[in-house]
Amino acid sequence: MAFHTSLITFLSELRKSIRALAISLFICTGVIFILSPQLLHFVQDHLADKLYFFSVAGPFLAHVKLALFAAVYVLMPWLMSVLWRALGKPFGVSGSELFFFIFFTCLLFYAGTLFCYYVTLPFGIQFLLGFSSEELKPVISVGRFVNFTTIFILAFGLIFELPIFMVFMAKVGVFSRRFYEKNRRYALLLIAVLAALL
């Protein structure tokens, strides 16, 4: 019952910030859209082949998606601050603990995205394109490539954040340390499956 009440309080606190977040995300996306050609070149750096588009609006939509992703990336510290402050109030998290959660969540997110871009993404692209042959030639659309890279990078950032959320769940009593120890094998299996899918 206490957890249910805390959850309702969390959702209420989060709702107060949604409008400000949406406006900030819209403005930030618009500003970054100006730099989207440079961002596309940066993302395309690991791909030797040219990108193509198969609809009139294809390039425009790809630039919008890329700008939106970059806006989320830039605003991540604020997004995490809003999330953790909304969580902190109903679950009784102190100010110093909030700073810990916000700082390390952002740190791990950026570490995960950088690891993906510089290590995993080049290997993944090379591996997948390795299946091409004389009969199979890659013709990659700009929209699908932007979707692939942004989702790939974002997923790695979120996966790297999992330890912090596990610590939080243990602190508020959702899961105990014994629960984690008991289900460690399943957690490792899940991580392995996610890694294989990504």
Q: Is the pLDDT of residue 198 over 60?
A: no
Alpha-carbon distance 12 to 77, whole Å? 21
- What's the whole-model pTM score? 0.79
Find all residues with CB under 8 Å of 78, minimum gap 6, and list them.
Answer: 21, 24
Mean pLDDT on 26-35? 93
Residue-number span of the structural domain to which 109 is assigned: 2-197
More confident residue, 62 or 17: 62
Cα 99 to its chain centre, rounded Å, is: 20
The number of distinct structural domains making up the chain is: 1
Residue 101: which of 147, 170, 49, 54 has the closest Cα?
170
Q: Over the stretch 32-69, which tens digit does the pLDDT of each residue have? A: 999 999 998 888 888 877 888 888 998 999 999 999 99
Residue 141 forms beta bridges with which residues? 52
Q: What local confidence, expressed as pLDDT, does residue 32 receive?
A: 94
Q: Are 32 and 74 in contact (CB under 8 A)?
A: yes
Q: What length is written for the chain?
A: 198
Find all residues with CB under 8 Å of 146, minimum gap 6, and list them.
Answer: 40, 43, 62, 65, 66
Confidence of residue 1 (pLDDT cuts 50, 70, 90): very low
* C-alpha gyration radius of the chain: 20
Q: Over the stretch 101-135, which tens digit does the pLDDT of each residue have? A: 889 999 999 999 999 999 989 988 888 888 888 88
